[in-house]
Structure 1
Amino acid sequence: MAPDRTRGAGRVAIVGGGLAGCLLAVLLGRRGIEVTVYERRPDPRVAGAERGRSINLAISARGLAALEQVGLRDRSLKQALPMHGRMVHPRGGEPNFQPYSADGERHINSIGRAELNRSLLDTAESTPGVRLVFSQRVTGVDTKAGALLLEDAGGRPLTEPADVILAGDGAYSAVRGSLRPDGDTDVLEHGYKELTVPPKDGEFALDPDALHIWPRGTSMMIALPNLDRSFTCTLFWKKSDFTALGTPGAVTAYFAEHYPDVAGLMPGLAEDYARNPVGSLVTVRCWPWVRYGDGAIVALLGDAAHAIVPFFGQGANCAFEDCIEIDRCLTEADGHWPRALSLYQERRKANTDAIAEMALDNFVEMRDRVSSPVYRAKQAAVHALERRLAGRYVSRYELVSFSTMPYAEIPSRIRRQNRMLAAAVLGAGAAVGLGAGVLIPRRGRRGGR
């Protein structure tokens, strides 16, 4: 039997002061709920961001809708740069621009994770009832006693009471580890490493209106623009390939051969390559996300519940949707936490499973398909259909990035569109055949007459 916790009846703790944790803290604080946010790192507004771990964010419609809820949409867009499409740099060919939308007007937004996190931390800190605690690492939960288990900066164990624990502590969540839900963590054989293209003569060295991709079959590099006119580049290689380049000379020679149009724009290439770590790319699938104990109710959100690979640019957007759903469910459940969190996990699970699969598929598309002339022709045809059948035919990319349609509904929407299109093509073919005097045999009639 789940404990009966209602609005204002207990101590609410959020684990993780990242993007989702801060957004959720603001939403709860505005409800009049007192909440404490525990973050393992020092305050990044003072200590600075972790080097080489950002993977610039591509904030799109879902993330902007969530930021609108806490008054941060316009502020965030001022920290962002629009990207209207992909600039594909094929091996041995000229770069080509591929717009994201049929009208060429819609765009996703490149924003540094650190900048957005600072904005959310500032907003959380200024929200009445929200308390931020840094340099305290949560190591687990005791649902029976209703407590968080922590370590301070010196490694000393601490215990903090909590009745509701909302865990947004990332793909390697300590809270999820202590709950041990069913599921698995899939780690790609690929990892990632960040590099930098600095400004050239004070200006962008590459076109800032695009997400740049260097597809290389089984691997790729991408680059997103920053406000300081630099680009954050991210290599997505098999982990074994990172260790194969053991000297600065080997690094520069490899890039000169495989990324010749950008290698000369990276004066700090060898240093960045040696200094920045290799990160892992994981997909987390687990269930349930909510655990009811005698002393505390615990819920997972964001990457702690459903980490996805970054190849559709939806990780932060998806986590923000979790926060909005929790807030919505609290309204529907009249502040009754067990009921609200039960609704939350039931509604979000299918959506997060769907975007996880689409993100994995988009990795193959970005590293392999986008440089193909056949792919480009297909995309041109899709955009032509979108223009001709406005509102009735919409690409998967537009539904994911430029709408808030639930992720789980997108695959079936695409199948319905394709069936409609196939029926229209068959109907047009039959009409052409009849108009040309071609007899279409009728079944059951002898001689085909």
Structure 2
Amino acid sequence: MEESAHRRGDKKVVAVVGGGLVGALNACFFAKRGFEVEVFETREDIRKAKVVKGRSINLALSHRGRQALKHVGMEDKIVSKGIPMNARMIHSLSGKQSPIPYGKKGQVNLQNSRRFQAVFVTLTEAETYPNTTLNFDHKLQDWRAETGLMTFARPDGSKTQTQADLIVGCDGAFSAVRKQFLRRSRFNYSQTYIPHGYMELTMPPRNGEFAMKPNYLHIWPRNTFMMIALPNLDKTFTCTLFMPFEEFEKITTGDEVIEFFQKYFPDAIPLIGAAALRRDYFRLPAQAMVSVKCSPYHIGDKCVLMGDAAHAVVPFYGQGMNAGFEDCIVFDEIMNQFNEDFSVVLPEYSRVRVPDDHAIADLAMYNYVEVILFNFYFTCTFSYISFS
């Protein structure tokens, strides 16, 4: 069994498990403070991968997320590559398009693809710190809260052990770090799957330009299901179909796909392409969406959970990534307050952050219900709609 031999000197070592958005941003926060930071990611380096596995629902960057990025000098890098979303665009069954502005005048969300942010910005930025090491193809098998000793498996069957002063679990909704929490008493945990799944389709450019107006969240509300489309920098749109699993499972052939879209999304067929619909609908099965709540977020002074590992949310409120980014800056502020004393910082982080993250999870679930009700209302009436 290999043992990690990175130079550590007298600096405390922080191990960030999970090299996604929140993990990479966390690495920047800890590296900026002068810790020796090691990031461990189960997958290969996705900047070099031809096929990237995992969730890819496009992400809306709002004020709470931008503040965290600003703190480590990344806000401009993200904002300059994002697409501003000025309003929603509702597509009726007849093809009529009706814009609906966001709640406040001048309110804008910034839309980015998950791949861009993870690959070209947060992960690459973390690597610029000389006191940060990225370790790919490292799957966490076990860790000890008493010592901070971690064991990782490699693709070739070998194992690596390393020790850290603090383990930061940023490894997603099905966190391997969190498994140790479940073995302890007085740890609260719940997960809820919603009846809807999601499937992604791509709307290609038309004559080198966007096929629809790009600065909108396009929405096709249809009774108990809906489709949305968000623009990407390459002039494509990512179309996401949200629908109960039993409805997805009713469609088994290419002809049935076309019949379904002709009935509910006729204006989208020429934009996506009938051949692409027949092919891409069956490329991957519909994916599940889960809401995760837990508390506390820490064990002693050795481990803390952040991002989806602590509070996975359904995507209907558009704040999952932003809440994860906010975890980083809240933790950093508490580090300032208590002089980086992990024995005080970690319990204070749980005390402060758990209620806020649970509120975001609840709002996301409430908005999921509201979306379904809105779809039903819109589909049945096609009347004038305004949002306050």
Aligned AA (2:118): N
Shift of 1:155: 3.8
Q: Distance in 2 between matches of 1:214 and 1:73?
A: 31
Aligned AA (1:65): Q
- The 8 Å contact of residues 215 and 368 in structure 1, kept in 2 or not, is answered as no
Q: Distance in 2 between matches of 1:37 and 1:378?
A: 46
Q: Report the counterpart of residue 203 of structure 1 in structure 2.
A: 209
Q: RMSD over aligned Cα, in angstroms?
A: 1.9
Q: Deviations over 1:300-344 (max 9, x none)?
A: 110000100111110110000000111111111101012111111
Q: Distance in 2 between matches of 1:120 and 1:273?
A: 31
Aligned AA (2:242): F
Select 1:261's aligned residue among 259, 267, 273: 267
SS at match of 2:271: coil
Q: Distance in 2 between matches of 1:375 and 1:324?
A: 43
Q: Report the counterpart of residue 248 of structure 2 in structure 1.
A: 242
Q: Distance in 2 between matches of 1:291 and 1:376?
A: 52
1:152 and 2:147 are equivalent in the alignment: no
Aligned AA (1:281): M
SS at match of 2:366: helix
Q: Deviations over 1:221-242 (max 9, x none)?
A: 1110011111001111112222
Shift of 1:362: 1.6
Spell out the pairing of 1:57-96 with structure 2 (5 A cutoff). 57-92=59-94, 94-96=96-98
Q: Deviations over 1:252-284 (max 9, x none)?
A: 221121111112211211221111342221111
Q: Report the counterpart of residue 289 of structure 2 in structure 1.
A: 281
Spell out the pairing of 1:48-447 with structure 2 (5 A cutoff). 48=50, 50=52, 53-92=55-94, 94-103=96-105, 105-118=106-119, 119-180=121-182, 181-267=187-273, 268-292=276-300, 297-369=302-374, 372=378, 377=385, 379=387, 382=388
Aligned AA (1:162): A
SS at match of 1:265: helix
Q: Distance in 2 between matches of 1:240 and 1:348?
A: 36
Aligned AA (1:240): E
Q: Distance in 1 between matches of 2:228 and 2:348?
A: 38
Q: Distance in 2 between matches of 1:141 and 1:167?
A: 11
1:12 and 2:14 are equivalent in the alignment: yes
Which structure's residues are more often strand, by fraction?
Answer: 2
SS at match of 1:283: strand
Shift of 1:159: 2.4
Shift of 1:131: 0.7
SS at match of 2:249: helix
Aligned AA (2:82): A
Aligned AA (1:232): T
Shift of 1:156: 3.3
Shift of 1:56: 0.5
- The 8 Å contact of residues 214 and 367 in structure 1, kept in 2 or not, is answered as no
Shift of 1:52: 7.0
SS at match of 2:42: coil
Which structure's residues are more often helix, by fraction?
Answer: 1
Q: Distance in 2 between matches of 1:109 and 1:277?
A: 29
Shift of 1:141: 1.9
- The 8 Å contact of residues 13 and 166 in structure 2, kept in 1 or not, is answered as yes
Q: Distance in 2 between matches of 1:297 and 1:81?
A: 39
Unaligned runs of 5+ residues in structure 2 are 1-9
Shift of 1:377: 4.9
SS at match of 2:118: helix
Q: Distance in 2 between matches of 1:220 and 1:289?
A: 34
Shift of 1:128: 2.4
Alpha-carbon distance change, 240 to 149 in structure 1, aligned in 2, over 3 angstroms: farther
Alpha-carbon distance change, 287 to 356 in structure 1, aligned in 2, over 3 angstroms: same
TM-score scaled to structure 1, two decimals?
A: 0.78
Aligned AA (2:348): L
Equivalences, count = 369
- The 8 Å contact of residues 307 and 324 in structure 2, kept in 1 or not, is answered as yes
Alpha-carbon distance change, 139 to 236 in structure 1, aligned in 2, over 3 angstroms: farther
Q: Mean Cα displacement is larger for which, 124-133 or 150-159?
A: 150-159
Alpha-carbon distance change, 162 to 277 in structure 1, aligned in 2, over 3 angstroms: farther
Q: Mean Cα displacement is larger for which, 151-160 or 80-89?
A: 151-160
Q: Distance in 2 between matches of 1:239 and 1:207?
A: 30
Q: Distance in 2 between matches of 1:49 and 1:26?
A: 26
Q: Distance in 2 between matches of 1:375 and 1:255?
A: 23
Alpha-carbon distance change, 315 to 375 in structure 1, aligned in 2, over 3 angstroms: farther
Shift of 1:374: 9.7
Flag the structure with larger Rg: 1
Shift of 1:11: 2.4
Q: Distance in 1 between matches of 2:288 and 2:159?
A: 28
SS at match of 1:305: helix
Shift of 1:145: 3.8
TM-score scaled to structure 2, two decimals?
A: 0.90
Q: Deviations over 1:20-52 (max 9, x none)?
A: 111111011011111100001111111145257
Q: Distance in 2 between matches of 1:147 and 1:187?
A: 33
Alpha-carbon distance change, 206 to 366 in structure 1, aligned in 2, over 3 angstroms: farther
